[in-house]
Amino acid sequence: MSYTAEQISVFLNKFTPIYQNGEEINKIPDGVKITVYCDDFDESGFVENITHDQMGMEELIAKSWILQSELENLLSVMPTASNNIINQTSE
């Protein structure tokens, strides 16, 4: 299932940071589906349902990640909060 950036961003605080003070502290896991938050100077966003091996340029600007299964679980138990955010931003 695909989610909007607004839905995913509700749980950005649950993502695992990759770097702290310029040092890698949490590697992106191999062999599992993840959603990655990427940020560079011009834009930011999420790459959903991807494995480390499938990443290209995203790996260079990735800031944090969450297991896809964990994100889907969070979104499934809080549909009202996600829907409220979407409704507020579309008005």
Q: What are the tens digits of pLDDT across the range 55-84?
A: 998 999 999 999 999 999 999 886 554 444
Of all helices (H) and strands (E), which one includes residue 80? Answer: helix 79-90
User: Does 85 score more than 70 pLDDT?
Assistant: no
Q: Report pTM.
A: 0.81
Sheet containing strand 44-50, strands side by side = 16-17, 62-67, 34-39, 44-50
How many domains does the structure of the chain reveal?
A: 1
Q: What are the tens digits of pLDDT across the range 16-30?
A: 999 999 899 999 999
* In-domain check, residue 82: no
Full domain range(s) for residue 54: 5-75
* In-domain check, residue 44: yes
More confident residue, 20 or 86: 20
User: Residue 59: helix, strand or coil by DSSP?
Assistant: helix
